[in-house]
Amino acid sequence: MIFEIFYMLFRFGFAAYLIGNMTNLVVRGSSLTKKFRDTIQSALSFAQRNQLPVSLQDRMLSHLSLKFKTDSEGLQQQESLDLLPKSIHTNISHYLFHSLVDKVYLFRGISNDLLFQLIPEMKAVYCPPMEDVILQNESSTDFYILVTGAADLLVQKNGVNQVVGEAKTGDVCGEIGVLCYRPQLFTVRTKRLS
């Protein structure tokens, strides 16, 4: 009889524990979704208030959607690395990116020591398709190495964008503007994620 009482109390306690944890997970997930909905709603109201073109509105929404996806799937690489000590951050960055950066024409022939110092200073950026990463004639302070995906190189002539090339995995974009302090020659627009 006493065993049955303790058994029932244990079952009630265990069931309450499980229900509490499941409720906590559901509430956390719905709060992230609510925050995303609020962000989308405020972006749409901003776009309508300022009468932005539909193409620009779509780009804003795709960027916010990609940000939500990377946040919800745990892809916020830089935030995770910033929490770690410098030595671990350096080793992880080196492990992830050294083989790619070593193949980039801009870094051929430089010492491994310099590469080891440069790689941890690089930041991963996720860009949705059809987003202009670099604008033509912009004075850029950053250049990009494509880790995955592809981008179109565009030149605007007579008000029309013309594709003059494509950047693929391992290619560099924007290096002329950064290294020579000159306006960008091309607009770089992402094509796809892969």
pLDDT tens digits for range 70-106: 666 655 666 667 777 777 878 888 888 888 888 888 8
Question: What average pLDDT does this structure show over 111-133?
Answer: 83
Secondary structure, 3-state, 108-154:
CCCCHHHHHHHHHHCCCCCCCCCCEEECCCCCCCCCEECCCCEEEEE
Residues near 133 by Cβ (< 8 Å), separated by ≥ 6? 127, 144, 151, 173, 174, 188, 189, 190
> Which tokens hold the place of 79?
């935030």
The span from the CA of 119 to the CA of 91, in Å, is 10
Position 22 scores a pLDDT of: 76
Position 29 scores a pLDDT of: 60
Residue, of 181 and 80, whose pLDDT is higher? 181
Position 76 scores a pLDDT of: 61
What confidence tens digit (pLDDT) does each residue in 157-172 have?
A: 888 888 898 988 888 8
* Three-state DSSP state, 36: helix
What confidence tens digit (pLDDT) does each residue in 58-74 have?
A: 888 887 877 777 666 65
pLDDT > 70 in the chain, percent = 87
What confidence tens digit (pLDDT) does each residue in 5-49 have?
A: 877 777 877 777 777 777 777 666 667 677 778 888 888 888 888
